[in-house]
Amino acid sequence: MLELRHLRTLVALRDAGSLVEAAERVHLTQSALSHQIKDLEERLGSQLFVRKTRPVEFTRAGQRLLVLAEQVLPLVRMAERDLARLIGHEPGRLHMAIECHSCFQWLMPTIDHFRNHWPEVEVDIPGGHHFDPLPALAREQLDLVITADPQPLAGVYYEPLFRYQGLLAVARQHPFAGRPFVTPEELAEETLITYPVEHTRLDVFTQFLDPAGVRPREVRTAELTIMMMQLVASGRGVCALPNWALTEYLERDYVKAVALGEEGVWSTLFAAIREESRGQPWMEDFLRTARETSFAVLDGIRPA
């Protein structure tokens, strides 16, 4: 009567808070997901959640199945890992680079969780390298690169992790504060604060300013997000960051956020790996853990 897919669906529904977002997480259409839930309810003879509630309000039967899911799904995941070891795969190496200054918020818990389950895999984030990460991945100097800027390279596969919105952070007293969005032309008189990377790797340029032929009055850089926020809060400039990187500062009312354009600027974050690594159980588990952890700790992201 019960299948693992039913338990995964209920967990996705609880975590996402709506049928639409839950369907995206389990890679089904909303219609297919609704049919799956209705079929399960008919088998059980009980409604599992109250329709048209947000966040989803589960019935006692639904809550009982969620408890079961929390017990069973981790055990299934552990058994899958153990079976992968039993079939004799060689211990792996996971040396990675991050082309994303604000990714540590979800990457560190991902690595911690992964190490607990795959202690035999050598995990490292080499520092001080003076090479482009993606070509280094193709040359086997690295094994994984977190990037929002995929490049066509032979033998490299890009696994989408999630989609995120770029927002413009401004001081609370800035004229943009309180507005729903800004246009590219309005940034022509602003000082734009960015991480110290090429403009070709920044969404605010490639997806917003460059297509409109606009350049900010001045560009200055800062190494750390907290330094950027201090500059923005003191009125020294504005900066564009992923929505999740701004969450804590918005909750503290330290700065305000404005969408980039009426439609917003959305990008996809990828994990780049070599094609030959796709079948490795530990690599598949890392990618799955990265996705699950991201949705557990970040606000405002969407399935890719």
Q: What is the pLDDT of residue 89?
A: 59
- CATH class of the structural domain 4-86: mainly alpha
Residue whose entry in the numeric block shows the structure tokens 């996971």? 94
pLDDT in tens, 241-265: 999 899 999 999 999 999 999 999 9
pTM here is 0.73
- CATH class of the structural domain 92-303: alpha beta
Q: What is the pLDDT of residue 231?
A: 96
Q: What is the pLDDT of residue 85?
A: 65
Q: CA torsion angle for 276, 146, 201, 267 (degrees, to 10)?
A: 100
What stretch(es) of the chain map to CATH 3.40.190.290? 92-303
Q: What is the pLDDT of residue 210?
A: 96
Q: How far is CA 167 from CA 58, 73, 214, 242, in A?
A: 34, 36, 17, 6
What stretch(es) of the chain map to CATH 1.10.10.10? 4-86
Distance CA 51, CA 54 (A): 9
Residue whose entry in the numeric block shows the structure tokens 């540590």? 104
Q: What is the pLDDT of residue 93?
A: 87
- The pLDDT profile of the chain, 304 residues, written as one tens digit per residue, is 789 999 999 999 998 888 888 888 888 898 999 999 999 999 999 999 998 888 889 999 999 999 999 999 988 887 877 776 666 555 678 999 988 777 888 899 999 999 888 888 889 988 755 668 999 999 989 999 999 889 999 999 999 999 999 999 999 999 999 899 999 999 999 999 999 988 988 999 999 999 999 999 999 999 889 999 999 999 999 999 999 899 999 999 999 999 999 999 999 999 999 999 888 888 999 999 999 999 988 888 998 8
- The answer to whether the beta carbons of residues 25 and 15 sit under 8 Å apart is yes
| Beta-strand relationship, 218-221 and 191-194 | parallel
